[in-house]
Amino acid sequence: MTLKKAALIIFTILLVDQVLKVYIKLNFTEYQSIQVFGLDWFRIYFVENEGAAWGAKIPWEHGKIALSLFRLIIAPVIGYWLVKSIREAAPKLLIIAISLIFAGAVGNIIDSLLYGVLFSASDAQTVATFLPEGGGYADPLYGKVVDMLYFPFIEDAVLPQWIPIWGGKTFTFFNAIFNIADMAISTGVGILLVFNKRVFPKEEGNASDTEQKEQNTAA
């Protein structure tokens, strides 16, 4: 796969991710929810989080800035890995996976880096505005990540009483709220895990060496 094709994947994901986030930010109050295509299990549900994947909370006091700085460091590393893989003619599936991960990382970096500066704060009563007169709601790197995709396939179901510990309690599956960037990262990582042998094929030379060692051991 060429660098141009990888760049197209990255650009497309970033475009869809940011257009959707900006639209939600400027048109929804926080926690506002609507059904998509009338489906109860597919909703747009606007929430903001500190930036951890899939809406996870960061317990540490300085966790937000630490996460933002980590992303700023790791994104160029992933970018270097991508370019290196393309130059070495790595498997197409590997390049696609890295492109997805890189695009997702950059997508959420944009939120943390710029959204606090460009937008006013969102809450349950107020829709945010772009470039507010009094300035944004946070400094660079402290912006919140916009999440909106929600798929509660099973909602508020009651577990049977005979189940230890959780019996009688309600649960929702799938209760994470996420965005396109999160999906890209998860898909990329999933490709690396599921198709590990295809994305990281053993070189013929290494395979031959291993086979020769086994034959020598047997002899």
Residues with active-site annotation: 147, 182
How many residues can be counted in the chain? 219
Which has the closest alpha carbon to 182: 173, 172, 171, 190?
Answer: 190
Rounded to 10°, the helix 180-194/92-110 angle is 150
Name the token pair of 144. Answer: 């919140």
How deeply is 139 buried, as exposed, middle or buried, from its count of CB atoms within 10 A (0-12, 13-18, 19+)? exposed
